Amino acid sequence: MHIETLKVFCDLVDLQSFSLAAERNFITQSAVSQQIRALEERFKRRFLERVRGRREVKLTSAGEVFYREARNVLASYEQMNENLRGLVGKIGGTVKVATVYSVGLHELPPKVGEFMTKFPSARIDLEYSRTTKVVRDVLNGSVELGVLAFPEPRRGLTIQQMPANRLVLVCPPDHNFAKRSQVKTKDLNGLNFVLFERDTPTRKATDKILKAHGVDVKKVAEFDNIETIKRAVQVGFGLAILPLPSVEDEVRSGRLAVIKLAEKEWVRPVGVIYRSDRNLSLAAKKFVQLLENTDKL
């Protein structure tokens, strides 16, 4: 039995998909199935429930035990590699990072590039998903780090704060607000707005601040990603409140205008999360330090 087979099994459980597990390990779906059957034959236990006509990944009781212990073996194997690299002062390996789109697309690329320049033997593997899945993937060990907005304290997780972003008002360049240097929250009352979906942290924070100022905006549309919101504002659906780093390209090109919101509470905290009960790899520690904008590198 090879360590790679354990990784395939754990990836299948974490991703809940034969195709995604195959893609992550650069093998075919058929190879994934064969490796799972080989594990079950070796240990004479069935690890996955089979449902005719479905590819659902559901663990048996034996599978749950095997998954937990396989995770421990993989963690020990990675720690061994990390310790051996440390003997020669080499920082390497792959750091798996899950992040939300608004942070991952607009704030992480320069940091990843800087990290790779400093540590060419290391690699950052970025995955994009919603906040709830980022947290879940960190807790179940499928990724080492999570980077998200409005990180909430949770048992079993450690949060390292990154520099916060300003939330700004975004409008088309020909809007009445476009020439103003700032607006007050009360000026937004009754205006048309394009919003994040209701369950996203930025939307929750926006609703809370608007309510605190007695402001009621008209919801024209809701979207789950920042790029669609920007396009909707461009074509005149309404205004939006977005983190400043996410609209800098559009402002430079003249496609959107940004206006400062006068009140101090229009801030979006950003943080790195990881499991409190696990020691980060040396590469992950260095990446977290870089994200914190420290001079520890």
pLDDT in tens, 130-139: 899 999 999 9
| pLDDT at residue 78 is higher than 90 | no
Residue 53 has pLDDT above 60, yes or no: no
Least confident range of 34-38, 86-90, 147-151, 267-271: 86-90
d(CA 237, CA 130): 24
Question: How far from 52 is each of 32, 48, 55, CA to CA, in Å?
Answer: 18, 13, 8
In the chain, CATH 1.10.10.10 covers: 1-90
Q: Given 3.40.190.290, 3.30.70.2740, 3.30.930.10, 3.30.530.20, which CATH number is that of 164-268?
A: 3.40.190.290
pLDDT band per the 50, 70, 90 thresholds, residue 171: very high
Radius of gyration of the chain (CA): 23
Q: What is the mean pLDDT of the chain?
A: 90
Task: Provide mean pLDDT across the span 57-80.
Answer: 88
- Binning pLDDT at 50, 70 and 90, where does residue 92 land? confident
Q: How far apart are CA 151 and CA 199, in angstroms?
A: 14
| pLDDT score recorded for residue 294 | 47
pLDDT bucket at 106, cuts 50 / 70 / 90: confident
The CA–CA distances, whole Å, from 55 to 8, 36, 245, 285 equal 16, 13, 40, 37
Predicted local confidence at residue 88, as pLDDT? 52
Q: What is the pLDDT of residue 114?
A: 94
pLDDT grade, residue 295 (50/70/90)? very low
Choose among 274, 293, 294, 275: nearest CA to 99. Answer: 274
Average pLDDT for 18-41? 91
Instruction: Check residues 23 and 183 and name the one with the higher pLDDT.
Output: 183
pLDDT for res 100: 92
Question: Pick from 251, 229, 225: which is nearest to 238 by CA?
Answer: 229
- The reported pLDDT for the residue numbered 297 is 38
Distance CA 290, CA 145 (A): 13
Residues in CB range of 84: below 8 A, 6 or more apart: none
Is residue 141 predicted with pLDDT exceeding 90? no
pLDDT of residue 140: 85
What's the confidence (pLDDT) of residue 20?
87
Mean pLDDT of 3-7: 92
Global pTM reads 0.70
CATH 1.10.10.10 fits domain 1-90: yes
Whose tokens are 């998954």? That residue is 67
Q: Is 258 exposed, middle or buried (0-12, 13-18, 19+ CB in 10 A)?
A: middle
Comparing CA positions, the residue from 150, 147, 159 lying closest to residue 108 is 147
Q: Does the pLDDT of residue 89 top 60, yes or no?
A: no
What's the average model confidence in pLDDT over 194-217? 95
Between 56 and 16, whose confidence is greater? 16
Q: Which residue has the tokens 């780090």?
A: 145
Residue extent(s) of CATH 3.40.190.290 domains in the chain: 164-268
